[in-house]
Amino acid sequence: MKSINLLAGVALVLGVVAGCNPQKNENDGAKKPELHIYTWSDYIAPDVIQAFEKKHSCKVVIDTFDSNETMYAKLKAGATGYDIIMPSSYQIKTMVDEGMIQKIDHEKLPNVRKNFAKQFLPQIIDPSFTYNVPYAVTYTGFAYLKDKVPAGVDVNTWQVLANPALRGKISLLDDQREVIGAGLMSLGYSINTTSAEELDKAVAEVLKWKENIRKFDSESYKTEVASGAILLGQGYSTDVTQLIVGDEEEGVKPRPDVGFALPKEGFAVAFDEMVIAKDAKQIDLAYAFINTIYDPEVAKDNMEYICGPNPVGPAIEMLDEDYRKMIILDEETMKRGQVIRGFDGNSQVIELYNKAWDKIKASR
């Protein structure tokens, strides 16, 4: 599906939104404005970026992070220069409190008002969209090699992480909330617990798994599952689906031997959202880009690349039915999903999670 090219009309559609003043052409020697986006890897279709650059006579510069904690720490340390940032919903309140992002002017985003698919509202922490514009939802489970995982090993449970048959052939995400959340859900607790006792039990569970895993990793698990270096990796639905469907344009073959499992005890649901940095230099261009993502034809092509749903109703209806079923979970499956939420500046709870994560990472 990723190989599907942008429809011929996309370039025209992008022209509907005015993102920056008309620029001199390259021969004038004028430097094109640059829109800086800080996001997850492989998370915006290259064709979408290229069409946007061409229409708005600008350059889109992408910088990537592998966890919300990494992104936040970099900004907290003083990193600047970004216009659009794509944190998960639960991270946004902290960024607001720290003065990192600015309120959204929805008068500049007509496509969002018109095309947002309300079916996704329960998965979004702030439905007022005061500082946030939903981008895409991901579900966390397991990527695994169907023909390499030993017979009798159940990949549909968090307890597979303790199975000795997979010792040294497992990876966990290098992500505090995802890993601790897995430990919590495996014991029947909420992924958003504030109980110190439940957190202690979850840490003990993760430490049992740690004896079995090869490493914590949020990036290379995709290629390592594909190569057989690991047989099972905790991972995001978008990443794993990209691996399964392949990319004809890049010469990447589909991998039907790779599966994706969502544990029966529960799985994490996280919406990544678009926010505008407080010190953004290209504000009009940022609004133009966000509005463009919500154009149905653009969103359709973007979803076919990222292998996850943008909450753009008309675009979802345009998707191939089988593909739509692949990337959007049915109502029954969603009952097992738990939305990762923030702790609204509760320093005591945040400290509990930080200490729990430190204990997991430091233990040998």
Asked if pLDDT for residue 100 goes beyond 80, the answer is yes
Whether 68 maps to a domain, the answer reads yes
Whether 4 maps to a domain, the answer reads no
Mean pLDDT score of the chain, rounded to an integer?
Answer: 91
Rounded distance, CA 79 to CA 316, Å? 36
Asked if pLDDT for residue 50 goes beyond 60, the answer is yes
Rounded distance, CA 118 to CA 103, Å? 21
Residues 131-159, mean pLDDT to the nearest whole number: 97
The percent of residues above 90 in pLDDT, for the chain, comes to 87
- Judgement on whether residues 246 and 357 belong to the same structural domain of the protein: yes
pLDDT digits (tens, 9 = 90+) for 285-299: 999 999 999 999 999
Angle ∠(352,356,362) on CA atoms, nearest 5: 145
pLDDT digits (tens, 9 = 90+) for 180-227: 999 999 999 999 999 999 999 999 999 999 999 999 999 899 999 999
Whether 292 maps to a domain, the answer reads yes
Q: Work out the angle between the directed axes of helices 283-293 and 296-306 (0-180°, nearest 10).
A: 80
Under the banding of pLDDT at 50, 70 and 90, the label for residue 35 is very high
Rounded distance, CA 272 to CA 288, Å? 19
Rounded distance, CA 89 to CA 123, Å? 9
H helical segments located in 215-346: 221-227, 237-245, 283-293, 296-306, 313-318, 321-327, 331-334
Under the banding of pLDDT at 50, 70 and 90, the label for residue 140 is very high
pLDDT digits (tens, 9 = 90+) for 328-348: 999 999 999 999 999 987 899
How many C-beta neighbours within 10 Å does residue 80 have? 11
- Judgement on whether residues 286 and 310 belong to the same structural domain of the protein: yes
**What pLDDT is recorded for position 364?**
64
Rounded distance, CA 52 to CA 227, Å? 35
Start-to-end C-alpha separation, the chain = 42
Whether 231 maps to a domain, the answer reads yes
- Judgement on whether residues 232 and 309 belong to the same structural domain of the protein: no
Which range marks the domain in which residue 207 is found? 138-268+338-362
- Judgement on whether residues 35 and 45 belong to the same structural domain of the protein: yes
Per-residue 3-state assignment (H helix, E strand, C coil) for 66-108 = CCHHHHHHHHHCCCCCCCEECCEHHHHHHHHHCCCEECCCHHH
Whether 170 maps to a domain, the answer reads yes
Whether 3 maps to a domain, the answer reads no
Asked if pLDDT for residue 42 goes beyond 50, the answer is yes
pLDDT digits (tens, 9 = 90+) for 242-289: 999 988 777 789 999 999 999 999 999 999 999 999 999 999 999 999
**What pLDDT is recorded for position 29?**
53
* Total number of domains constituting the chain: 2
**What pLDDT is recorded for position 249?**
75
- Judgement on whether residues 312 and 218 belong to the same structural domain of the protein: no
Rounded distance, CA 316 to CA 312, Å? 6
Nearest to 293 by CA among 133, 54, 72, 137: 133
Nearest to 1 by CA among 268, 241, 170: 241
Angle ∠(248,250,253) on CA atoms, nearest 5: 50
